[in-house]
Structure 1
Amino acid sequence: MNKWWMEAVGYQIYIKSFKDSNHDGIGDLNGITEKLDYLHLLGVNLVWITPFYDSPMDDNGYDVRDYFKVSKEYGSLEDFKALLKKAKNLGIKVILDFVLNHTSDEHAWFMESKKSLDNPYRDYYIWQKPKVVDGKILPPTNWGSFFGGSAWKYDETTNEYYMKIFSDKMPDLNWKNPNVAQSMIEVGKWWLDLGIDGFRLDAVSHLAREDFVDSTFAKDTVLDWFKFSNLPDNHKYLNQLHEGLFKPYDAFTIGEVGGQASIDEAIKYASFNSNEVSMVFNFDHNWHNNIWDITDLKDIKVNVIPLKETLNKWQETFKDIGWLPLNWLNHDQPRVVSHYGHVDYHNESAKMLASIMYLSRGTPFIYQGEEIGMTNYPFKDLSEINDISTLNSVKNQIAMEPERAHQIIEKALMTSRDHPRTMMQWQHTEYAGFSTVKPWFHVNPNYTEINVFDQVNDPTSIWSHYQKLFSLRRFSKYSKTLINGTYEMILKDDPNLFVYLRKYQEETIIVIGSFSTSETIMDITNYPVGDILIHNYEDISYENNNLKLRPYETISYRIKE
């Protein structure tokens, strides 16, 4: 018996950049409500909304000041209730980001925690005494932060350091303290009682910590995520959340475990019998190209075989024991059509990438703007960057290698987390229809060519291809095969073709995608063409059992029996 989320189509909304309803240049809850009909038309029936809790916005809302309040930039609790009501009327489930690893340094718990060594909230956070060397006060360990610099921040009030593996303003919670788990369970209950359907669990692989011993990776400050990623106690804490919160509410949960979680760890997190989370997002498939070796995105090339190996590894592992999310990107990853597609074949490559991902076994999660083929922003200067992670990383790298400053900045502009955070491109009017005033961040200049308005009624558009994919999954006679069918990758060593079979009972569907800019021939002797499900060219070219695939061509069809 399938859970509802196994048959859903998910859509991530980065609220700040989605739709501004009150003309202040910032996306908001009412903007989402306004666009729910659009998402319903696309075929989406599950939305994940990034944090809109009260926050100082050091990291765009992932630094939570109060879990029970809506940040004034985004509206009010009444606005969210109205959003939830309309979503339910449209049959759209709603999940929220649940930030479990840290709070803002302006959260009431932390304000209390830093007052004194014996404050009741002291152990809500991770405090350690300084290391003193030759009379100099140093951090407790040489551990580095994901956002650059030390993972420790000194606090003069009590002469101790608090741990923060992200920003200085995001102190890490101490999950060894059972009161932290209980407090977070109460937060979760409050939102579930309001009517939401579950959570995307932010940075959930980092809740546990090793003993506070220096990393051996280097003598100086070094990012050693093995000290605070996917450790054994992480499973204990998630099990507590499952038993105390997720299970009683039958809540859907999807954990962000990054690119360092092993397959074995992922099974512990998200197999059908794990008693932790419903499924996990990983980033293993996100960087299989030559992005680190080039200076111009026009030279980007996809490492197709490693990409296939990674995606197939996850499919094979979870084929009988669990479920996977299907996603190309999120608010931290490059725009997929810029990253794995081709600038000269924008339409074709965007459709091909959609087909090979979203006809797989799992639950699609697309990121806002992906459905129209939005691209990376043409950043030219570091002053155009907003992301604290990018800025801190550049600062620290240049401090270590000042002679490489130009190259470091150039690479940061190509890979910054800000690429997917530009404004959603709704129309070809000023500010892309996102707002009537200048937005908080950039609008990609290609909004006049790439926007919802021009695509939504065009049967040849990228948007229409996405809509058809979701219709095939949810409403067609092939739904059972596309949802419940097995997944078998073939032609694993082909450097250009991405091909797999979906089988259910007597039906077999083949999904083919070409990453080549040239014509490619595929022998389909064993895969005779039956009913065509979806295709990104006007016609199909094959003869003598040879399928001729044009640049970035994709086709899916039922194999004739």
Structure 2
Amino acid sequence: MATETLPKWWKEATVYQIYPASFKDSNGDGLGDIPGISSKLDYIKTLGVNVLWICPFYKSPQYDMGYDISDYQDVHAPYGTKADIDALIQGTHERGMKIIFDLVVNHTSHEHAWFKESRSSRDSPKRDWYMWRPGKVVDGKRVPPNNWRSNFGGSVWEWDEPTQEVRVPRLFAPACIGADAYQYYLHYFAVQQPDLNWENPVVRKAVYATAVNFWLDKGVDGFRIDTVNMYSKYLDFPDAEVVDPSTPWQPADKYYSNGPRLHEFLKEMHRECFSKYDVVSIGECPNTPDWKDVLPFVSTREKELDMVIQFDLASMDHGGGELRLWHRDWKLHLFKAITEDAQMLAIPEHNAWCTTYLENHDQARSVSRFGSDEPAFRVQSAKMLATYLLTLSGTPIIYQGEELGMVNMPPSWDVDTEYKDLNTIDYMQELRRIAGDDKDKLAQGIRGAQLTARDHSRTPMQWDGSANAGFSTAKQTWMRVNDSYREINAAAQEGDGGSVLAYYRALLKLRHAYKQLFVYGQFELCDIDNKDTMTFIKRSGAEYALVLLNFTKEDQPFVVPSHFKGQPELLISNVPEAGKHVLRPFEARIYVNQGAKPSANGA
């Protein structure tokens, strides 16, 4: 076995993602916190996962829920203290688990000391730490350097008043002065999130020392790396194609990602940071759908990242352009094709690895999107989706509450008052501008938010059936608790062998016991054109597993593929009594052949 394909702890791991604001409130202020996470480590351990991913807890003004960081080495005060973080790291390790943090270094907060210095003067030593460019004068008016649309609406450029060289009296027209007098800073996301200038080697060294190695030296086991393929910019900043003439700001996805020096930067970060520790690096990699383009990021020969998070499956029911939360119907054949493409990264000869996930803090709940949250089908579809997630090769990521089958907020909730996310607020503004007086279009657009908005994953964790779902003792929580908490909560599922939680625990034990099949096994998609069911084989040597998934509310026939070798034996099903040749609504089954046995070091 080549060195590159040897087993690694992070290949055999299952990651559990925690959103601090919504996980557990320990002090009754209505907001989740770090001590709250520590209080639930035993619950996480009993689930069967072995890596915690903690979303940003750093000091931040919270314009984008902590993804706007003002100090990489401090803690957002409502979440706790540095000592609380140290205790969380220690408590996780004491339970035999590992812990990774979010690394957000494409941009900082506008309140970070670096940016405050950068905008203080054009002569500032840190002026070149961010991306500043002169504007244009068009028809006598000041305009940004190009027409790119920010991910959160409007231009990616913000004119910065504090450091303008020229103060123009109102009686003079802007055309009387040169465009170079107007300086804008770049922000791919919110105005309060200025992009760092990775072209500057001093910036990169500061990032490595301050945001990366500082935490690795404290014992953190790696990072999920936010927007990792946006560091390198196309420095000519060309205008994007006009696809929506009604707005000056055009989608520029192809320019946001995978710039000319990106792989150089990632190799340097690996060399200066990750190579010195036994840690994992998981990059968030949007706008890169082809596995051949992803391979250079994750090939062990390239020494950049260990794996990446892709968006193709999670976004296939989203619209594009201005109304990216606009819902569009998804088809199972596309779901299958995207899965098959991602699994290519785990083929041994590629010396690479992949992640699998259905939910995270940027996605709505998978049961409501890909299964059914109707009472008759909710539990079955949650288990079916769990079967899909935990039988694929690669490293699976489970988002908090997914193991309970949590669902989207109900349609009765008002989008304008109950939804808190900056992305949703921007979407609703754009929707009203585009819909105008068209009430049907407005209603359809609101329906999109009710299906795909990020807010759905950010409602508080549902621990029990008491007030606020046991999340907090506060009279009011930072975000409303989902009305479903009375039926869906951890306490109710703890003693129920038929619960979603019990099924996740059972699947995770099987995944570890049969890791050569489910972690490392070769994926082969069957019945590609079947619009109702998904069938795939996992193979390791002479051992085979067969996974059958019904994505519908009706019974569906199935056959064992002819290239499944040996006699199939049922390993697990999510229904009490499996039919001989029929899958019940949202049924999932796993078969293994008679030669497949649990590993000696299995669960």
Q: TM-score, normalization: structure 2?
A: 0.88
Q: Which residue of 2 aligns with 1:443?
A: 481
Look up the SS of the partner of 2:428 in the other structure: helix
Matched, 1:72 2:49: no
Change (3 A) 1:439 1:517: same
Distance 1:301 1:491 in 2: 21
Distance 2:134 2:431 in 1: 28
Q: Which residue of 1 aligns with 2:361?
A: 331
Distance 1:484 1:383 in 2: 46
CA contact (8 A) 1:331 1:420 kept: yes
> Quick one: which amino acid aligns to residue 422 of structure 1?
T
> 1:190-229, aligned counterparts within 5 Å?
190-210=214-234, 211-218=236-243, 220-229=248-257
Matched, 1:22 2:27: yes
Of 177, 186, 194 in structure 1, the residue corresponding to residue 200 of structure 2 is 177
Look up the SS of the partner of 2:128 in the other structure: helix
Look up the SS of the partner of 2:377 in the other structure: helix
Look up the SS of the partner of 1:481 in the other structure: helix
Q: Give how far 1:314 is off.
A: 1.4
Look up the SS of the partner of 2:480 in the other structure: coil
Of 511, 523, 529 in structure 1, the residue corresponding to residue 559 of structure 2 is 523
CA contact (8 A) 1:271 1:278 kept: yes
> 1:299-338, aligned counterparts within 5 Å?
302-320=330-348, 321=350, 322-338=352-368
Look up the SS of the partner of 1:142 in the other structure: coil
Look up the SS of the partner of 1:4 in the other structure: coil
Q: Which residue of 2 aligns with 1:384?
A: 418
Q: Which residue of 1 aligns with 2:383?
A: 351
Q: Give how far 1:131 is off.
A: 0.6
Q: Deviations over 1:409-461 (max 9, x none)?
A: 44334321101000000000000000111210010001000000011221100
Gaps of 5+ in 2: 1-5, 165-182, 321-326, 596-603
CA contact (8 A) 2:69 2:112 kept: yes
Distance 1:483 1:411 in 2: 35
Matched, 1:136 2:141: yes
CA contact (8 A) 1:130 1:137 kept: yes
Q: Give how far 1:268 is off.
A: 1.2
> Quick one: which amino acid aligns to residue 146 of structure 2?
T
Distance 1:473 1:349 in 2: 19
Q: Deviations over 1:153-206 (max 9, x none)?
A: 111122311011110100011111111111111021110001100000001121
Gaps of 5+ in 1: 293-298
Distance 1:533 1:311 in 2: 23
Tell me whether 385-394 or 182-191 shows the greater mean CA deviation: 385-394
Change (3 A) 1:323 1:108: same
> Quick one: which amino acid aligns to residue 365 of structure 1?
I
> 1:226-375, aligned counterparts within 5 Å?
226-289=254-317, 302-320=330-348, 321=350, 322-342=352-372, 343=374, 344-375=376-407
Q: Which residue of 1 aligns with 2:58?
A: 53
Distance 1:249 1:316 in 2: 28
Distance 1:60 1:32 in 2: 17
Q: Give how far 1:230 is off.
A: 1.7
CA contact (8 A) 1:149 1:396 kept: no
CA contact (8 A) 1:288 1:304 kept: no
Q: TM-score, normalization: structure 1?
A: 0.94
CA contact (8 A) 1:356 1:498 kept: no
Change (3 A) 1:420 1:259: farther
Of 502, 519, 529 in structure 2, the residue corresponding to residue 493 of structure 1 is 529
> Quick one: which amino acid aligns to residue 579 of structure 2?
S
Look up the SS of the partner of 1:403 in the other structure: coil
CA contact (8 A) 1:25 1:439 kept: yes
Distance 1:168 1:49 in 2: 25
Look up the SS of the partner of 2:263 in the other structure: helix
Change (3 A) 1:300 1:121: closer
Distance 1:65 1:290 in 2: 31
Look up the SS of the partner of 1:557 in the other structure: strand
Q: Deviations over 1:381-413 (max 9, x none)?
A: 312111111111221343344234723344334
Q: Which residue of 1 aligns with 2:540?
A: 504
Look up the SS of the partner of 1:395 in the other structure: helix
Name the % identity. 38
> Quick one: which amino acid aligns to residue 491 of structure 2?
F
Q: Give how far 1:290 is off.
A: 8.7
Q: Deviations over 1:80-113 (max 9, x none)?
A: 1111111101111000000011000000000000
Q: Deviations over 1:465-510 (max 9, x none)?
A: 1101111122x2x232222221111111111111111111221111
Q: Which residue of 2 aligns with 1:296?
A: none
CA contact (8 A) 1:301 1:340 kept: no
Distance 1:245 1:401 in 2: 49
CA contact (8 A) 2:345 2:354 kept: no
Q: Which residue of 1 aligns with 2:589?
A: 555
> Quick one: which amino acid aligns to residue 425 of structure 1?
Q
> Quick one: which amino acid aligns to residue 337 of structure 1?
V
Q: Give how far 1:557 is off.
A: 1.5
Report the aligned-residue RMSD. Answer: 1.9
Tell me whether 120-129 or 270-279 shows the greater mean CA deviation: 270-279
CA contact (8 A) 2:573 2:588 kept: yes
Q: Which residue of 2 aligns with 1:100?
A: 105
Q: Give how far 1:272 is off.
A: 2.3
Change (3 A) 1:101 1:418: same
CA contact (8 A) 2:20 2:33 kept: yes
CA contact (8 A) 1:529 1:557 kept: no
Distance 2:304 2:147 in 1: 31
Look up the SS of the partner of 1:523 in the other structure: coil
CA contact (8 A) 1:143 1:151 kept: yes
CA contact (8 A) 2:526 2:561 kept: no
CA contact (8 A) 2:390 2:518 kept: no
Distance 1:152 1:300 in 2: 30
CA contact (8 A) 2:52 2:99 kept: yes
Look up the SS of the partner of 1:330 in the other structure: coil
Tell me whether 312-321 or 385-394 shows the greater mean CA deviation: 312-321
> Quick one: which amino acid aligns to residue 208 of structure 2?
I
CA contact (8 A) 1:105 1:169 kept: yes
Change (3 A) 1:183 1:290: closer
Q: Which residue of 2 aligns with 1:466?
A: 504
CA contact (8 A) 2:346 2:393 kept: no
> Quick one: which amino acid aligns to residue 454 of structure 1?
A
> Quick one: which amino acid aligns to residue 336 of structure 2?
K
Distance 1:455 1:82 in 2: 29
> Quick one: which amino acid aligns to residue 295 of structure 2?
I
Q: Which residue of 2 aligns with 1:11?
A: 16
Distance 2:458 2:146 in 1: 34
Q: Which residue of 1 aligns with 2:600?
A: none
CA contact (8 A) 1:181 1:240 kept: no
Q: Give how far 1:14 is off.
A: 0.5
Matched, 1:534 2:567: no
Distance 1:559 1:283 in 2: 34
> Quick one: which amino acid aligns to residue 324 of structure 1?
C
Change (3 A) 1:354 1:529: farther
